[in-house]
Amino acid sequence: MGAEDARRASARRAAGGVRWRAGSARSAGEASAARFLATLDMGAHYNPAMTAQNDLARRDTRASDLAMAGSQTSAAIGYTANHAQFVEWLRSVAPYIHAFRNRMFVVAFGGELVQAGALNALVQDVALLHAMGIQIVLVHGSRPQVEEQLNLHQVESLFAGGMRITDARALEAAKEASGEVRLDIEAAISQGLPNTPMAHAHISVVSGNFVTARPVGILEGVDFQHTGVVRKIDAESIRHSLESNKIVLLSPLGFSPTGEAFNLSMEDVASSAAIALRADKLIFITETPGVIDGDGELTRELSLDDAQRIYEAHTGELDRADADFYLKHAIRACRGGVPRSHIIPYALDGSILLELFLHDGVGTMISYENLESLREAVPDDVGSILQLIEPLETDGTLVRRGRHQIERDIDQFSVIEHDGVLFGCAALYPYPQERIGEMACLTVAPEAQGTGDGERLLKRIEQRARARGLTRIFVLTTRTEHWFLKRGFVKATVNDLPEDRRRLYNWQRKSLVLIKQL
């Protein structure tokens, strides 16, 4: 037998082995699979007039078949709890991914982050955000690198009022330091080694003379020389680069129309860029964990007014290690039209991802408006509502509802959203003749449970019921009896339901009836 014949024989044996293994797996579960396919076929010919009992029985059969087939498949591939947790987490961040696509974030960090060795991790996270369709503008600082350059040349650093006095030697140090950090960032973004988070990234980064500056001048008798402030951001050129799927990198240097260079603060460049670009978020990644309250606890969310009060409560110069130092610039950005500003720590690996994709985040978020919105649902909310209730329908907590039913009843729903993402819903179905209403489909996302969202939704449904002249509301529940009892509901019977709802009661499900006087 020649080499080619041997290779073909080996391939046939391998293929035969695959077929044999597949055949064995099929024989073990073919009855379950056949029943599952039968239920799918039944669904294609679904009769809306089918009784609730038959509908529930069919769903139970389907769930049983899915569970059997799933357990066999899980065992075959070594599916573990870690796999399940990963799938659950990935699904939970989907609303954020949809909400953030095509948004613009200005991400600012000091030279301290580079000095601490956290640059590669940040770039990997930024590359992931870029891959999700988020437009990224990076703004870097270089204070410690400037200090290194000055120390190297034995030049003393001069400060006044918290700002560096930039003489000719300090300006040269600032240019060298800024160039060094910029090259480090560009090199990190250009990585593409296999088996690393940057593999296949192919990201282009653009930097240039996007920032026009002017001198600070003389303040209280001190000439700040080449220290400057932002005069203008070339927003049009930056947007053009972003629309070409590039990351834009801004350095803390600006140039005047006369050709002079000025040393700028990273915070000034970042807030000015966010305002000029009408960015959706300004994110400061800093050496501080965020705004800490009087009890030593992290303040996760601040309204613009609260942030202003905290900032004004401090007198004297603010230390850069204090989050309040960044509040000035976060407040300025929000007042300039940026909806959200964030202050997060670089010491926490992946802090930018955790801040964006966890409900509570890991730092402090300052918002121009109230972050949480409790409102009535609109047709665009249908997809998010379905995503919220699907896990509870699967485990039997809620009765299954299809997209058509949610679309039909969307005017009955109230929703609660946080930073543009839905985290809870509830519906009110009134029976005006009996002056009673049913609260249905009360759902709060797992990551938002324990924050009071369920309580707020209940109060909204009660308000809507009173506005319609109803005197009572009721719920049907199989698993959350105690939650409702603690909030003023009392046990009742099926006979206490309005006549139309009593006829639809599912005796196989045997839900408890709870009623509350308004």
- Whether 92 is in a domain gets the answer no
Domain hosting residue 346, numbered range? 99-370
Find out whether 283 and 267 touch, Cβ atoms under 8 Å: no
Share of the chain above pLDDT 70, in %: 82
- Whether 78 is in a domain gets the answer no
Q: In degrees to the nearest 10, what's the CA dihedral of 330, 331, 333, 335? A: 160
pLDDT at 84: 85
Q: Where are the beta strands (DSSP E) in 273-405?
A: 281-286, 301-303, 340-345, 364-367, 372-376
State whether 119 and 55 are in the same domain.
no
State whether 252 and 192 are in the same domain.
yes
DSSP 229: E
Where among 354, 370, 386 does a domain terminate? 370
pLDDT band at 41 (very low <50, low <70, confident <90, very high): very low
- Whether 85 is in a domain gets the answer no
CA 461 from centre of chain: 27
The edge-to-edge listing of strands for the beta sheet with 253-255 is 228-233, 211-215, 253-255, 261-263
Nearest to 105 by CA among 264, 235, 250, 278: 278
Domain count, the chain: 3
Map tokens 């955790």 to a residue.
354
Find out whether 388 and 443 touch, Cβ atoms under 8 Å: yes
Pairwise CA distance, residues 509 & 449, whole Å: 26
For 253-292, write each residue's pLDDT tens digit: 999 998 999 999 999 999 999 999 999 999 999 998 898 8
- Whether 301 is in a domain gets the answer yes
State whether 146 and 272 are in the same domain.
yes
Pairwise CA distance, residues 3 & 13, whole Å: 15
State whether 365 and 378 are in the same domain.
no
- Whether 339 is in a domain gets the answer yes
**Terminal CA-CA length for the chain:** 89
Residue type, 209: N
pLDDT at 220: 85
State whether 157 and 295 are in the same domain.
yes
Where among 56, 72, 88 does a domain terminate? 72
Q: Where are the beta strands (DSSP E) in 328-420?
A: 340-345, 364-367, 372-376, 413-418
pLDDT at 320: 55
- Averaged pLDDT for residues 73-102: 80
HSE-up of residue 281 (Cα within 13 Å, Cβ side): 26
Helices and strands of the chain, counted as H and E runs: 17, 23
Find out whether 379 and 410 touch, Cβ atoms under 8 Å: yes
State whether 44 and 167 are in the same domain.
no
Q: Is the dihedral of CA 446, 447, 452, 457 positive or negative?
A: negative
Give the range with max mean pLDDT: 13-22, 227-236, 391-400, 440-449: 227-236
State both tokens at 237.
């050129």
DSSP 494: G
State whether 44 and 131 are in the same domain.
no
- Averaged pLDDT for residues 165-174: 93
State whether 214 and 345 are in the same domain.
yes
Find out whether 422 and 377 touch, Cβ atoms under 8 Å: no
Where among 370, 401, 418 does a domain terminate? 370
- Whether 38 is in a domain gets the answer yes
Pairwise CA distance, residues 514 & 470, whole Å: 16
- Whether 305 is in a domain gets the answer yes
For 196-255, write each residue's pLDDT tens digit: 777 887 899 999 999 999 999 998 888 899 999 999 999 999 999 999 999 999 999 999
- Whether 87 is in a domain gets the answer no
Asked whether the predicted pLDDT for residue 115 surpasses 60, the reply is yes
State whether 328 and 428 are in the same domain.
no
State both tokens at 512.
């408890």
State whether 498 and 448 are in the same domain.
yes
State whether 360 and 397 are in the same domain.
no
pTM (2 d.p.) = 0.65
pLDDT at 9: 46
CATH number of domain containing 195: 3.40.1160.10
CATH number of domain containing 498: 3.40.630.30
Find out whether 299 and 293 touch, Cβ atoms under 8 Å: yes
Q: Check residues 245 and 395 and name the one with the higher pLDDT.
A: 245
State whether 262 and 183 are in the same domain.
yes
